Structure 1
Amino acid sequence: MNLEKPTDAHTPDPANPQFGSGANGYPSALPQYTQLSQNLPVTQSQINYNHITYALALFSYFTAGLTWIIPIVMNYLKRDEARNTWLYSHFDWQIKTFWYSIFFWVIGFVMVIFATGGLFFGAAFDSNHTMGGSFIVAALGGLIIVATVLWHLYRIIRGWIALANGRAVP
C-alpha cells in the first residue's frame, strides 16, 4: 500500500474541462495518474522466494509434473506481500502461466482421448472415415499439448531471466 501523500499529479484539476462534465457533476473520465504504483522496495527474501518458485516450476519437467502445483500455491500465499512492487508482476505471471497451461493442456488431452476412442471405434467397425478424422483430431490435440508445454517453458525462462535482472515482466 502506497502511504505517500497525494500530490497535484494525483488529484483531478477542476479547471480541466473534463472534470465535472459527466452525469451529475461526476468526472466523465478518471484522472490519469502520473506516478507509477510499482515503485515500492522489495526485500531480498521476496526475490529469493520467487527464484525458488521459478526453480520448482522448471524442476516439474523432471518429475513428470509432480512439483507443478507447489510453486502456484507458494505464489498465491505470498503475492499480496509484493503488491505495488515490480515483483508482483512475477507472482501474477507465474499464476497466469499455470492456469493458461492447465486450460490448454486439458483441451489437448481431451482431444487426444476422444480421438483415440474414435480410432479404436473406426478400427473395430472398419470405418476409414472415422479413423481418418480421429487421427487428425488426435494429431491436433497432440500439437496443442506440445505447444502448451513449450509456451509454459518459455514463460518460466523469460520470467526467471527478468527476475535475475531485477525487472518486472509484462
Structure 2
Amino acid sequence: MPDHIPSTRRNLPFRLSLPENDKLAIHVVYALFGLSVVFQIPGMLGVILAYLKRGEVAGSYLETHVAWQIRTFWLWLLMVVAGWLTVILLVGWLILLAAHLWLIWRIVKGWLVLVDERPIDRPEAFF
C-alpha cells in the first residue's frame, strides 16, 4: 500500500482486538446485552464478541465475565423461545417477562462486578 494513503485501521479510536482493550470489549458486550432487552440483534452481536474474546482473556478475571455472558445469552434465548412457543397458553407471556427480568438482573450483576474489576464468583450459576 502506498505511503500517502492513510490506513483506515490506524485512524480508528480503538481496536477491541488489542489486549489493553479487553475490559472495554466486555463492557461493550454488557451494553449490547442491555440493548437486547428491547431489540434482539444486539444480543447476538454481543455473544459473538464474547466468543471472540474468550481465548484472549483466558487466565484473567475477565474470563469469568465472558463465561457469564455466553451462558446468559444461551439461557436467555432458551427462555425466550420457550416463552414464544407457549404464548398461546398465556403462560408464555409470564415466561417472556421472567426471561427479560432475569436478563436485566444478570447484566446489572455482571456489569457491577466488572466495574469493581473482580471475577464473577460462579459464572456457571443461574443467578
CA distance in structure 2 between the partners assigned to 1:93 and 1:163 by the alignment: 11
The answer to whether the 8 A contact 2:37-2:100 is kept is: no
* Corresponding residue of 1:94: 69
Structure with the greater alpha carbon radius of gyration: 1
* Corresponding residue of 2:49: 74
CA distance in structure 2 between the partners assigned to 1:65 and 1:102 by the alignment: 10
CA distance in structure 2 between the partners assigned to 1:149 and 1:59 by the alignment: 11
Output the aligned Cα RMSD: 1.3
Shift of 1:51: 0.8
Shift of 1:59: 2.2
Aligned residue type for 2:28: I
Shift of 1:78: 1.1
Shift of 1:105: 1.0
* Corresponding residue of 2:30: 54
* Corresponding residue of 1:65: 40
Moved more, 86-95 or 53-62: 53-62
Shift of 1:82: 1.1
* One of 114, 119, 123 as aligned partner of 1:168: 119
CA distance in structure 2 between the partners assigned to 1:66 and 1:55 by the alignment: 12
Identity across the alignment (%) = 32
* One of 73, 77, 97 as aligned partner of 1:146: 97
Structure 1: 5+ residue runs without aligned partners?
A: 1-42, 116-136
* Corresponding residue of 2:59: 84
Q: Which consecutive aligned stretches of 4+ in structure 1 deviate over 6 angstroms post-superposition?
A: none
* Corresponding residue of 2:8: none
Structure 2: 5+ residue runs without aligned partners?
A: 1-18, 123-127
TM-score (norm 2): 0.76
The one-character-per-residue Cα deviations of 1:137-168 (angstroms, maximum 9, x if unpaired) are 31x11111100000011101110110000011
Aligned residue type for 1:91: V
For residues 93 and 67 of structure 1, do their structure 2 counterparts lie closer, same or farther at Cα, with a shift above 3 Å needed?
Answer: same
Q: Does 1:109 align with 2:45?
A: no
* Corresponding residue of 1:13: none
CA distance in structure 1 between the partners assigned to 2:117 and 2:40 by the alignment: 28
Shift of 1:55: 1.1
CA distance in structure 2 between the partners assigned to 1:150 and 1:100 by the alignment: 13
